[in-house]
Chain A
Amino acid sequence: MDNTAVASVRVLAPAGMLGAGFPDLTIERGLELGADVISVDGGSTDSGPHYLGSSQPKTTRAAVARDLRVLLKAAARADIPLIVGSCGTSGTDNGVDWVAGIVADLLAEEGLDLRVARIYSEQDAGRLKERLAAGHIRPLPPMGELRPETLDDCTHIVGMMGHEPIVAALEAGAQVVLAGRATDTAVAAAYPLMKGMPAGPTWHASKIVECGGQCTSNPREGGVLATIDAGGFTIEPLHPEVSCTPISVAAHMLYETVNPFRMREPDGTLDVAEATYTALDDRRVRVEGSRFHVAEQHTVKLEGARITGYQTMSFSAVRDPHILAHIEDWAALLREVLTERVEQTLGLGADSYAFDVRLYGHNAVLGENDPAQGPPREVGVMLLVNAPDQATATAVAKIANPLMLHLPTRDMDHLPSLAFATSPAETERGPAYEFVLHHAVDSITPTDMFRIEIEESAHHG
């Protein structure tokens, strides 16, 4: 990769998530504006621990392939790198290989010859236990100290890379970089940092573009272009009819952040407390004054998920006004009778499985914190059972079946028949996971926890 100094770097951020889609004209527009690199995030923890725990993508292959086809052709035509972070949603090795397989098929179909790098971020529990024992892993709020058994319990552990492994892959000649778990910002920051752009504006711009068009007046009409230079950065929507305003750009620092002024990266901390946002015209915003404080110790954040049990779900519904008027009592009776029947039939005490009864339409979402009062018109009753194995979870849900069909309130003298949504009523959900790691490892070097593999195509041999 050409590493000569430049005055500015233009980062094309096509979408907040690979597979989310974008108008193809916005990519054309980005190339016309002189994009130097295309950066897109391929993952997130936002949809829960299942995707890391099971190492399965949230996005469907066809949607990822559609976006990648447009981006690979654009990158090849403009001769600029394409960087994808957190491949396969969670950034596991399997996720990187899944995206790499799609890329290989597309390159063959389109007759393109691009050098592809894979960066693996999955971590070995044994190696991490050594680092823990040596005092090099610390909890991040609100977590407590890490126990070594927790590492063993995880089905998958990833480390969140910063820009450094991506820069290493680009410097080794990669034209397409498929990264495992990476910070959302590192995906966009890597190329500008490699080209010598200042850290403050680069990391700040990277945070602003990480959700594509979220910082614009119309997030559904494609992404943005960030132009980073020595004094700051300028942000511009790719769609000509969409605009950025100082408020829309500044407000994006609030999105999904705990602290809107300071964000920790592996290499240090972005500080935007003194940043200024100025309208250049009615759709472009100039940002200056962003700072980056390099940390004394480079750190890599860990993510890990473990299996908590196996789940079975059942769903019925109540429309009868009498039951609805006493819905809390009815649910209490359901819990009571189900617990008794499970003890009586399966011989299981309440401590060897767990279930949740959720009253959708009443207070399922907010529970006791719900500020609203009053009887609902109808209520969906979801039963979610968690047990050490799938057969037990399903057995409990099946024992609940006649209750979710016929349970009356305590004062009724007949058996109602309630409204099951499906037949069979029970759905086996497989293993259930939880995130258990939110800890930082003191890195030995910024790249040593990540493995880079670069495919040599025939033409590059």
Chain B
Amino acid sequence: MAEKGPTTLADLSLEVRSKNAGPFWVTMELFLRDAEAYRIAADEAFLDERTIARLYGVDPDGVQIFRIPALNVVKISFPRPVSQASLRDRDVHSGQHHVPLAALPVPSV
């Protein structure tokens, strides 16, 4: 299938998801397709705390990244920027917040 635009993390992944981890944290996971896709996504020069801070408008010091080669998973957690179910919260379960991460273009190889 012909695809337009740059290759994104979604293209390298079986699944990208996000969810609350308790009322005060959001967590997201990239389930990469294979070891090669994992190697690209797990590269700190490409995806680190600052990248996440920029994508989500949060403080890089609060971002935690877990790289799990055994599962080809990169997991990211950070404090919820908006209090759950408050007037400004538009995603009570944080279930749609994976999209900016999934849409991140990966470096061309």
Contacts and interface: CB of A to CB of B under 8 A. Distances in A.
Given A50-B85, A438-B22, A142 B27 contact: no
B46 interface: no
A48 B77 contact: no
B75 to A, nearest CB: 6
A371 B83 contact: no
A160 to B, nearest CB: 11
Contact of A49 (B57, B71, B73, B84): B84
A370 B87 contact: no
5 contacts: A308-B87, A364-B90, A434-B84, A438-B22, A438-B23
Given A49-B85, A141-B79, A371-B99, A358 B90 contact: yes
Nearest to B89: A48
B72 to A, nearest CB: 9
A370 B99 contact: yes
Nearest to B81: A369
B73 A251 contact: yes
Nearest to B92: A48
A260 B84 contact: no
A391 to B, nearest CB: 18
B88 interface: yes
B66 A366 contact: no
Interface string A174-213: 0000000000000000000000000000000000000000
B22 to A, nearest CB: 7
A354 interface: yes
Contacts of A294: none
B92 A47 contact: yes
Interface string A370-414: 111000000000001010000000000000000000000000000
Nearest to A301: B22
B52 to A, nearest CB: 11
A119 B88 CA distance: 36
A259 B77 contact: yes
A435 B24 contact: yes
B90 to A, nearest CB: 5
Contacts of B20: 46, 256
Scoring A256, A308, A358, A368 by chain B CB atoms within 10 A of each residue's CB, the highest score goes to A256
Contacts, number: 100
B100 A438 contact: no
B57 A142 contact: no
B19 A255 contact: yes
Contacts of A367: 90
A255 B31 CA distance: 12
A257 B27 CA distance: 7
Interface in A299-337: 303, 308, 311
Interface string B83-108: 11111101111001101100100000
Contacts of A259: 64, 66, 77
A142 B22 contact: no
Given A365-B91, A435-B23, A435-B24, 13 more contacts: A48-B23, A142-B62, A251-B73, A256-B20, A256-B27, A259-B66, A259-B77, A261-B66, A303-B23, A366-B96, A371-B99, A432-B86, A438-B24
A433 B24 contact: no
Scoring A45, A364, A368 by chain B CB atoms within 10 A of each residue's CB, the highest score goes to A45
A258 B96 CA distance: 17
Interface string B5-27: 00000000000000111111101
A256 B85 contact: no
Contacts of A432: 85-87
A354 B20 CA distance: 25
Interface in A248-273: 250-251, 254-261
Contacts of B24: 142-143, 435, 438
B99 A45 contact: no
B97 A47 contact: no
Given A46-B93, A47-B93, A438-B24, A250 B71 contact: yes
A70 interface: no
Interface string A201-230: 000000000000000000000000000000
A355 B62 CA distance: 28
A171 interface: no
A247 B73 CA distance: 11
A355 B21 CA distance: 27
B83 to A, nearest CB: 5
A356 interface: yes
Closest 3 CB pairs of A and B: A48-B85, A142-B79, A371-B103
B42 to A, nearest CB: 14
B68 interface: yes
B35 interface: no
Contact of B83 (A260, A311, A435): A435
Interface in B28-47: 29, 31
A46 B93 CA distance: 6
A366 B73 contact: no
Nearest to A309: B87
A4 to B, nearest CB: 38
Contacts of B93: 46-47
